[in-house]
A and B are shown apart, each in its own frame.
Chain A
């Protein structure tokens, strides 16, 4: 293979027997913006830890920039920047000191290091707080500082595990814009995130993992086209009716009465129906449900989005942990590991 990241039949079984990754293969070419998506517990962080030499694989092969993750770890660590899922900064050090230390551990020093730190402080908008201890930062500021510390040494490849989760929309947009700029400068980005809209806009390619296996990969438009249908989202007034499950009753009805439905999957609010010409189908569905006395609380049609791709392959909607800027500070300390 010729990618900057090559993964083949990669598997990881943890000490307690958990098979977190079960033989995945993919490759990322140089300069690509690659999205690695999947529901909670799919094995995303495990994969990132193996690629960044923080965790040993159980079997299969993985290389980064041509270096084997097991035997050439030291060479890999010089050219990658890694942001882990849990925000990590030294709270006793100032923002500037946190960044400087990371640079020093990457063998940078002197004027070059200072200038680089100043430049990054501007980019992540922490100039005013640069000389305050990171312990006094809000959750979002810590997250931005954490990202900045991974960039000090100008890495060739960036591994980002949910870099914008927990940020307010404004900082999120700023970070994505910056990542886009980095990518345009030639940096390869490997990212896990829950923000599918941004993935759709920025990622050139993506892979979806579920339960340790890759269930789909390709460009966003390829994956959306694969669905080949509009999605009709149905919300039900009640989750049970006549002593039965509304979802299964509705499903039965849809399957019996309508042709051209390619797939029906459960969603949080009810069902999502994939069909060609969704727009024509809507009034008919409303009429049929009316006759069958199935109460609809909402109905909507859309052309396929990555959300639908995700739902189709994993059976789950991605759950974005939305946070308001008022409470994201508290939420971070309680984030799952």
Chain B
């Protein structure tokens, strides 16, 4: 099957492009790192609102790693628009390359990139004294959860890119969506400190599901950082359910739009 080898070669292409344009990585890592290092200091009092002895840095780390998935994944659509505009897509289409592999290679690279960036943020968090209380398996699950969230989000950005064929539009919509979605979720604040209507929004916000799962691994319930290994599987599986649902919808739309562009 050329699907796997083609996906692999195109994955490598994207990784090379990324490494040679470090500014892109810088852009998507800059915000989460500023949040982790500065904002958590600014809002340090929030910790005690969440529970006695809770550090806000520990609390917010879950939201911050997810924010990084969000901002990187949104670059996906713009790069595919670039390939359409430059004619590189056309050039590939004149070869026997497996059509789906063109998309899959890109999505794979998004996932991998988000995972690596998550590791960087988690390393920094470790220096600040934050680490998953659930140990190595916790780390692995956090990275996987963020990686898969990135995949689902990159589906949105790819679909937007393929539909509008405009990098600016993708960027604009991404910027427009990021903050409301992030702040009206459990990413950075405890829902109990939100007005009731926002609590409702937050409870349906897909970001909340992923954040809750990550948070349960970093600081297992109930809000306690000294508890021993507790895996809250129902929260984790819920998150994977939501991510899978979003993934199927956005990647399905992407595949559909891509087929239209390709034929």
Contact = CB atoms under 8 A, between A and B. Distances in A.
A93 B95 CA distance: 18
Contacts of A84: 87, 90-91, 94
Contacts of B16: 92-93, 97
A133 B20 contact: yes
Interface centre among B5, B93, B95 (most CB of A within 10 A): B95
B246 to A, nearest CB: 30
A106 B97 CA distance: 7
A74 B92 CA distance: 13
B17 interface: yes
B52 interface: no
Contact of A104 (B9, B93, B94, B263): B9
Nearest to B12: A101
A251 interface: no
Given A74-B96, A82-B94, A106-B96, A88 B17 contact: no
A93 B13 contact: yes
B238 interface: no
Interface residues of B, number: 21
B87 A86 contact: yes
A162 B86 CA distance: 17
A78 B17 contact: no
A52 B96 contact: no
Interface string A251-262: 000000000000
Given A86-B87, A92-B20, A77 B96 contact: yes
Nearest to A133: B20
Contacts of A326: none
A102 B5 CA distance: 13
A107 interface: yes
B21 A92 contact: yes
Interface of B: 2, 5-6, 9, 13, 16-17, 20-21, 86-88, 90-97, 263
18 contacts: A53-B93, A53-B94, A74-B96, A77-B95, A78-B96, A82-B91, A84-B87, A86-B87, A90-B13, A92-B17, A92-B21, A93-B13, A93-B17, A97-B16, A104-B6, A105-B9, A105-B96, A133-B20
